[in-house]
Copies of this chain bind each other. A is one copy, B any other.
Amino acid sequence: MLELIERTKRRQGLTAEGLRWLVQAYVDEEIPDYQVAAWLMAVLLIGLGAEETIGLTEALVASGRRLDLVGHGVVAADKHSTGGIGDKTTLVLGPLVAAAGLPVAKMSGRGLGFTGGTLDKLEAVPGLRVDLSATQFVRQAQTTGLVIAGQTADMAPGDGKLYALRDVTGTVDSVPLIAASVMSKKIAAGARFVVLDVKMGNGAFMEQPEAARELAGTMLTIGRAAGLKMAAALSWMDQPLGRAIGNALEVAEAIQTLRGGGPDDLRDLCFGLGSELLRLSGMEADETAARRRLEAVLASGAALAKLREMILAQGGDPAVVDEPQRLPHAPVEVPVYADRPGHVRAIAARDLGYVAIGLGAGRTKKGEKIDHATGIVLHAKVGALVAAGDALATVHATSPDTAAQAVSAVRAAYALGAEPPTLHPLIEEVLR
């Protein structure tokens, strides 16, 4: 291990064998945390070359089980988002793409810090289980064509162990380490077509477009080296996506979107990412045709039916699809009024992420229980013109006290001004 640390320190590079040994020895507890911590800091400060990043990813994949979906006759699609506020894309995109005929088999994560997680949102559906075994995951992909579950413990255990150490040693913010971590899980999960949604802006981990572009490029390089067909969208997360923030509220918004309503930005993003997947799979030759196909399964109700089918398969109450009021709801709802007229120039997404944590909808530490019912619904998004006294948003809380705190924080997150803001497209660029 000392030799590998020295090589990294001296910018001599590690071989794929060296990286594979390092990850496996760490998983097997043959090398101590402090040596790996020193190596991680050297990687963070010096970087890893493309070959090394690929080698690290392969080592993380090799530390556990790699699902052979293709061997089970499932040529599936997957999607990864770097995380944001109000990002319920998976809940809409999955049913859309699956209903269009391309199976979607996705392993998701939980919310942490200011970003939410798909598993928490799904668990807002009464009865729905996300802890599927690998066998159940494959079988549901075969029969339903849509499965969204948690990662099984035997997949990329090296990544889980490394991430836990990075989290407590100041070594999270490294593009090669982030890219290897994400891609090891995508590769292990077995999908053939993967679209990345790399977020930029105030509500994203990578605020700057350059950093987001670098991360996207690194993930594409890794995925393609592993034989995946990939594309990456760079999209803005400088205000929350859609209107709902909070688990049950977001599920309701996803259902609304699959019923043909819902916010424009959410629908557009799902069409954008989904058409990339149809294109990658070869089902459609170009973006226009792919988008038309997705519009058709939305209009026909096939996508909504696919969501219902998935909820049923995972033990959830399928009736929520038709009666969203069956989802948990918070006892206290308090509107947030504009205290003056103006154009909504900005909504501080990250601040709203922290407001959601304060309401119980998110967690600051792994393992913390959350409240599925609480959250925020925005009535005015960036670009809206509001009058004094108009409702900007509604806070959904468990008590008047927590609601009151949230109300003033939500109001503070809105920047109102005399001039309308310059709007930019939600998807800035697609790297194909």
Contact = CB atoms under 8 A, between A and B. Distances in A.
Interface of A: 2, 5-6, 9, 32-42, 44-46, 165, 168-171
A309 to B, nearest CB: 44
A34 B46 CA distance: 19
A33 B169 CA distance: 10
A170 B4 CA distance: 9
B171 A38 contact: yes
Contacts of A44: 9
A298 B45 CA distance: 54
Given A42-B41, A45-B46, A170-B2, A32 B33 contact: yes
Oligomeric state, in copies: 2
B5 A169 contact: yes
Nearest to A6: B170
A170 B34 contact: no
5 closest residue pairs by CB, A with B: A5-B170, A41-B41, A38-B169, A34-B37, A33-B34
Contact of A35 (B9, B35, B45, B169): B169
A112 to B, nearest CB: 15
Contacts of A35: 37, 168-170
15 contacts: A2-B169, A5-B169, A9-B44, A32-B34, A33-B33, A34-B37, A34-B165, A35-B37, A37-B38, A37-B169, A38-B170, A41-B42, A41-B45, A42-B45, A42-B170
Given A38-B38, A38-B170, A45-B45, 6 more contacts: A5-B41, A9-B41, A9-B45, A39-B41, A42-B170, A45-B46
A45 B2 CA distance: 16
Given A9-B44, A42-B41, A45-B9, A34 B2 contact: no
